Structure 1
Amino acid sequence: MEDRAAIPVTLPRDNPTRSYWQLEVDDIADLRSTESLPDEADTVIIGSGITGAAVAFNLLRNGAQGLVMIEARQACSGATGRNGGHTKAASYLSFLHHQHEHGTEMAAKIARLELANIRAVHAFAREHGIDCDSNPCSTVDVVYDPKQWATAQKAVKAMQDAMPGEEASVYTLHSPGDMRDRFYCGKGGDEGVCGGLSYEAGSLNAYKLVIGVLKLSLKKGLNLQTNTPVTSVSKLPRGGYLIDTPRGTITARRVVMATNGYTARLLKRFQGTIVPLRGHVTAQRPGRNMPNSGLPGTYSFFYEKGYDYMIPRPQGSKFEGDIVIGGRLTSAVSEGLNEYGTTDDTTEDGDTMRDLGNTLPQYFGENWGADHPEGRVRSQWTGIMGYSPDGLPFVGEMPGEKDLWVSASFQGHGMVLCWMSAKALVEMMEGRDGGELRRWFPDVFRISESRFDLTFKGRMHTRGDPS
């Protein structure tokens, strides 16, 4: 794994696989607000995914001016525009680890933030009228591995003991019979269901959400420059930074790195500390026996060596009834080892895509039925995530580098971490880094010197979402 983590991180590749969400690209996908790059800016944000968009919106709402956002490819063409759109915390999966490493209070704070992030994203879309198929709903985790089922029950009890009566610790446990009768799993196919857990979650079209946030920011004065890769960021002797691109340079007072898995390309200290990992996703047409009213919510499936996550497209959305399913990392060579360290989302692993294409009839058995007459798989694509040695994001100012800010490395869990992390970053940038922020934002997410000394060994926690 250390060899994979040491592979030099590249810029985003040209001509990536086409995401299901970008089958019809938005009008601002290739926008350049000004024909040429401005010579100077107060703030340059590198990256136009959910983190970059949320940072820009919050800064502009608070009165910032001179904001330039630079994107290597089309707007929202990275992990946000390529994930499944699953706003699902599954906080119990990491709670015991966080409790052991950081204490019960910190573990609870992380769980609270994840639920707050889910609710905040859907509330923002609703408040601002962003048409992104926002669908707050319940989710269910279908567990096939007895050891994981035992650990899940232990984790839920630990959460409920730590946060009695709190919404972040509300889980309902289900028997194998429930999984068959209520959730259509484990009958006529893979019968080895141990049980399941249901809890609050949601789904949305993350590409449309971010495009909506970017449009709001453009109205407030954001200068968006797409198809402009940043080749270097260097500190100037008298303060500020020089941002180099093939189209020229910009001098900025401060810089925000919203670059997730690509961060180490520009900030070398993150080489081996934020490690790219390629994920695979498919969109599939439902089988003929699946319920006409749709499935009761979103799903994740946990088995001995890994997991898959699944989002049915809600009624009223384009391609309603389609099932977006991703995962199967362990299907690739050496159980996915070669997916670490790669930034190549122009290609895919054939074994992983084949297995993803075959999963749904296995999970739903006779409830799946014959394939749709137009074929099962409508679309398939890849995307690049970012992982850290301790399984936590990096949020804050770079040590010893004034006004060089980072919010990155979301562990394939960005749809329940990015929004609130961006909010926290803006609080720090604007000098409100006091008791109120520390009340809700976990200190363990902050950038510190000691975290650069950790050794990357792979994914820390099994997660239900590669966003």
Structure 2
Amino acid sequence: MDERAKIPVSLPHPNPTVSYWQDPPDPIADHRTTPDLPSSADTVIIGSGITGAAVAWNLLQGANPGAILMFEARQACSGATGRNGGHTKHASYRTFPSHLAAHGAHTAVQIARLEHANMLAVHAFARDRGIDCDLHACPTVDVVLDGAEWESAQASVAAVRAAFQSPGQAEAGYTLYSAAEVRERFHVRHEDGVFGGREEKVLGGTNTAVTGLTRRKEGGKKEGGFCWEVQTPRGIVRARRVVLATNGYTAAVWPRFQGAVVPLRGQVTAQRPGRAMPAGGCLPTTYSFIYDKGYEYMVARPQGSRFAGDIVMGGGLVRAPDNGLMEFGTTDDSVVNEDISGYLREATGRYFGSAWGEDHPEERVRSDWTGIMGFSPDGFPFVGEVPGEKGLWASCGFQGHGMVLCWMCARALVDMMEGRDGEQLREWFPDVFRINEERLAKRFRGRLY
């Protein structure tokens, strides 16, 4: 793993696989606000995914946001945000015991509550603003296919319940099912144990990679306070502050993150439902299938959505040779891993058995694509000002769980940037997420969760 973490991180590949969610491309995919770059900006945001967009949004809620410029190397939202499996799920019970043991009850509860709040905030933002998207709130179930994992899951749920029974804490809503119950309720035909879960203006520049950052001697009044030069193929922009919303690609822009945010290529497939699937595949719940060292997650497309009934499944990393070792350190999302692809293509029929039935007459697989995630040595994102680099801020390294981390981390980052880094922020934002030299120096040993 040491060698994989040392591979120099590259900028995004120019010709990625086509994401199911971006076919056809959105009208803003290649949007540029102006034909020429401005010479300066108060804030430059690198990356247009959930983190970059949320940072921009929160800055704009302030009284004096100034001029904000966002860069994206490829099409808008073409990184991990636009390439995931569409699953906004906080399975906090799975990491809670390790957080509890390493950092104590306060931090473990903080992280679990942040994940839950993040999920609610993302849904509320889209719903309250009438954003045209496939927003579907539903229960979720974890199907555990390994005896040891099942024992661990039960103990984890007990730990979460105990921690959240204190005054002012709502009890976590988990329900445990037997294998027989899950086969009946959730149509899964696997024989092993089962765990059930409860149910001013932003200027944009797509296709404009940031190829380098240079910190100037700190700007004074004469220089307008511009501390950074942001280099791109279209020219140089001076900025007072820069935000790295670059997740798995962060070290390509700022090499200090080499080995601290390690890219990992993930894979997703979209499949037409089998002919025997209940409700034509529009199942009322989402799924995760958990086994020793790995998992898959699954989302059934609801009624009324494009391709209703499609089954979107991601994961399968450990089904590649050496438990997926060669997927670490790669930023090439222009191809799929054929071992993982073959496994995911067969997973739906294997998990649902007779409930799947015959394949769709137009074949099972509609789409197969990859995307690049970012993993840190300690399993937590890096949020805050980069040590020793005044005006350089980052929110990255989401461990493949950005859908339940990015939004609230961006909110916390803007609070820090705007000088609101006091007790109120520390009440809800975990200190273990903050960037410091000790965390940046840790050795990367692989995926922790």
TM over 0.5: yes
- How many residues are aligned here? 438
What secondary structure does 2:278 align onto?
Answer: coil
What secondary structure does 2:69 align onto?
Answer: strand
Aligned runs of 1:23-172 on 2, under 5 Å? 23-63=23-63, 64-164=65-165, 166-167=169-170, 169-172=172-175
Letter in 2 for 1:292: A
Shift of 1:168: 6.3
Shift of 1:449: 1.1
Deviation sequence 1:30-68 (CA, Å, 0-9, x none): 111010111000000000000000000111122412100
Letter in 2 for 1:96: P
8 Å Cα contact 1:111/1:168 also seen in 2: no
**d(CA) in 2 for partners of 1:282 and 1:434?**
43
What secondary structure does 1:172 align onto?
Answer: coil
Letter in 1 for 2:255: K
Is 1:178 the counterpart of 2:165? The answer is no
8 Å Cα contact 1:115/1:168 also seen in 2: no
Mean Cα deviation higher: 276-285 or 292-301: 292-301
Counterpart of 2:413 in structure 1 is: 425
Letter in 1 for 2:8: P
Shift of 1:169: 2.0
1:167–1:16 CA distance, 2 compared to 1 (3 A): farther
1:227 aligned to 207, 228, 239, which one? 207
Letter in 2 for 1:135: H
Is 1:194 the counterpart of 2:193? The answer is yes
**d(CA) in 1 for partners of 2:174 and 2:328?**
32
**d(CA) in 1 for partners of 2:82 and 2:395?**
17
Aligned runs of 1:325-364 on 2, under 5 Å? 325-364=313-352
TM-score normalised according to structure 1 size? 0.92
Identify unmatched segments of 5+ residues in structure 1.
201-219, 462-467
2:264 aligned to 277, 286, 303, which one? 277
Deviation sequence 1:88-140 (CA, Å, 0-9, x none): 01001111110111111100110000000000100000111111111111100
Letter in 2 for 1:185: V
Identify unmatched segments of 5+ residues in structure 2.
220-226
What secondary structure does 2:130 align onto?
Answer: coil
8 Å Cα contact 2:67/2:202 also seen in 1: yes
Aligned runs of 1:317-396 on 2, under 5 Å? 317-396=305-384
**d(CA) in 2 for partners of 1:351 and 1:426?**
41
Shift of 1:167: 4.2
Shift of 1:333: 2.1
Counterpart of 1:465 in structure 2 is: none
Deviation sequence 1:199-220 (CA, Å, 0-9, x none): 25xxxxxxxxxxxxxxxxxxx5
What secondary structure does 1:278 align onto?
Answer: strand
Identity %: 59
8 Å Cα contact 1:41/1:250 also seen in 2: yes
8 Å Cα contact 2:93/2:157 also seen in 1: yes
8 Å Cα contact 1:112/1:168 also seen in 2: no
8 Å Cα contact 2:165/2:171 also seen in 1: no
What secondary structure does 1:24 align onto?
Answer: coil
RMSD between aligned residues: 1.1
Counterpart of 1:434 in structure 2 is: 422
Mean Cα deviation higher: 421-430 or 291-300: 291-300
What secondary structure does 1:277 align onto?
Answer: strand
Shift of 1:28: 1.1
1:234–1:132 CA distance, 2 compared to 1 (3 A): same
Shift of 1:253: 0.3
1:310 aligned to 292, 298, 304, which one? 298
**d(CA) in 1 for partners of 2:234 and 2:198?**
48
Shift of 1:197: 1.9
